[in-house]
Amino acid sequence: MSDTHAQTVGYVRETFIPEQAPPHAVTGPVKWLRENLFPSWFYGILTIVSVLFIFYVLSIFLPWLTGGVWDAANIRECREIFAGDSAGCFAVLTERWHQLLFGFSYPQHAYWRPTLALILLAVAVAPVLFSNLPRGMLAFTALYPFIAFYLVWGGTILIPLVALAGVIGGYLVYAQLVDRSLVGGLIAGVVAAAVIWWLGGFVTAEMPNLLALEAVPSRDMGGFMLNMILGVVCVSLSLPIGILLALGRQSSLPIIKWICVVFIEFVRGVPLITLLFVANVVLAYFLPPGTNFDLILRVIIMITLFASAYIAEVIRGGLAALPRGQYEAADSLGLDYAQSMRLIILPQALKISIPGIVNVAVGLFKDTTLVSIISMFDLVGMIRGPILASTDWNGVYWELFGFAALLFFVVCYGISQYSQWLERKLATDHR
C-alpha cells in the first residue's frame, strides 16, 4: 500500500461496479437444489433413489385412491364396477362408517352424545395442556368426567350429580381438616363422600328417569369410540396412581418402597396382552362369587394398572431431575413430607414430566387396539370381526386397515406434535 506501487497501476476505477445478480448456480431454486438435494454424489444418489421410490409408491397408491368406488352395497358390486382394475373399494367405509366409529350396538340416534363428549373433551383438556389459557377453565375440566359419563353412558342425570356432590362434599371436609392433619383430612373426606353417595343412592333409586338420556350399557360401546374411551379413562385414572407409585418408589420407607418396586417392575416386565388375558380369563376367578364386572370394566382396571406403572417411571424421572436443593429447601422451611411434596416438589416434577406423560398416553392409546384380541369390538376388532366376517365385505383389507391407520395417525400425530412443542417450550438450555 505504499505510494510507490501507485505508479504501477495504470487505471483506478473511481466508481463502484453496479451490483450484479449472483450466478445461477448459487441462487434461487438451483442453489436450493444443490444445497439440499445434491450436496455430494452420495446424497445425489440418495435423492434419485428417493424420487424413484416416491414415484413408485404414488404410481400404485394414486390410481387405487382416485379410482376407488365409494358407492356399492357389497364387495361383489365393487368388483363389477372395477371390472378387473385394482382400485379401492371405499364403499365399505360409507356403508359401515358408523360401525367403525361407534361399534354396532350403540343406538344410532344417540351418536351426537359421544361426539359432543369428544368435543367437550378438547375444551376440558385445553387448560391442562396450554398454560396460557384462563385458569377458570380448569373448573370445567373438573366437571368434565361427570358430563362425559352422563353423555356417553346415559341414564338419569342424578348419578353423575350425586357423584359430583360426593366429591364436592368430600373435598370440603378435607379442606376443613387438612391444616390439622393430612391423613385425618383424607380419611374424613373419603368418609364424607361415601356417606353422600350412600344417601344419594336412595334418591337415584327413587327417580331413575329424571332428565334421563337413553342408558347405553358399556358392552355396547365399540369402534373407535371404545379406543377413545379406554385411552382417556385409563390415562386419567392412571395419573394419580402413577404419582403415588412414583412417590412410593422414592420413599425411604422400605416396605412401601418394595411394594411399589415389585409392582412397577412386574407390570413393565409383561406384555399388555397377558394383562388383558388376565382381565378376560383370570380376573373373574379372583372376584367375590356373585359379583361380575363386565368386560370393559375389567379391561379398564388392567390397562389402568399397566399405564400407571409406566407413568410412575416417567414421574420418577421428573422427581429425580429436580435439583436436590428443592428438597432441602422444603425441609429447611420445616414442611413435613406431605406438605413439601404437595407444595414444592410435585408441582415442579409434574411440569417437567408432561412430555413424558404425553408419550405414555400416546403409546397407551395405540395399545388399546389390543383389546380386539380378547373379543372386544374396538376399531380393529370391528374390522377383523363383524365386518370382514360378513359375506358383503369379506376381502376388503387395505381400505379398512388404511382407514384405521389414518384415524390413529391423525390423533396420535396431533398429540405428539403437542408434546414436541411443549418440550421446546420447556427446554430452557440455550445452545
For another protein, the binding residues in 36-95 under the rule CB under 8 A are 36-37, 39, 43, 46-47, 50-51, 53-54, 76, 79, 95
110: Cβ–Cβ under 8 A, 6 or more apart, which residues?
154, 213, 214, 216
Q: 303 is written with which cell numbers?
A: 390397562
Q: Which of residues 134-193 bind another protein (CB under 8 A)?
A: 142, 145-146, 149, 153, 155, 159-160, 163, 166-167, 170-171, 174, 181, 183, 186, 189-190, 193
- To another protein, the closest distance from the beta carbon of 19 in angstroms equals 29
Smallest distance, another protein to C-beta of residue 51, A: 7
User: What is the C-alpha separation between 400 and 89, in angstroms, rounded?
Assistant: 9
Inter-residue contact 310 to 360 (CB < 8 Å): yes
Of the candidates 387, 384, 377, 408, the residue with the CA atom closest to the CA atom of residue 91: 387
Q: How does 244-282 read in b/e, with b if 16+ C-beta sit within 10 Å?
A: ebbbbbbeeeeeeeeebeebbeebeeeebeebbbbbbee
Is there binding between residue 325 and another protein (CB under 8 A)? no
User: Least distance in Å: CB of 119 to another protein?
Assistant: 19
Contact between 339 and another protein per CB under 8 A: no
Answer for the pair 183, 190: CB distance below 8 angstroms, yes or no: no
Binders of another protein among residues 264 to 293 (CB under 8 A) are: 265-266, 268-274, 277-278, 280-282, 284-293
Question: Shortest Cβ distance from residue 363 to another protein (Å)?
Answer: 9
Task: For the CB of residue 185, give the shortest distance to another protein in the complex, in Å.
Answer: 11
Instruction: Note whether 198 binds another protein by CB under 8 A.
Output: no
Q: Rounded to a whole number, what is the largest CA-CA distance in the chain?
A: 114
300 binds another protein (CB under 8 A): yes
Which window, 9-17, 18-26, 122-130, 378-386, contacts another protein (CB under 8 A)? 378-386
CB of 93 to another protein, least distance (A): 13
Contact 361/310 with Cβ under 8 angstroms? no
Q: Assess contact for 396 and 89: CB atoms under 8 A.
A: yes
Write each residue from 398 to 417 as x if it is in contact with another protein (CB under 8 A), else as -, in one continuous string. x--x--xx--xx--xx--x-
Examine residue 295 and tell whether it contacts another protein (CB under 8 A): yes
Query: Rounded distance, CA 17 to CA 343, Å?
Result: 69
Closest approach of another protein to the CB of residue 60, in Å: 12
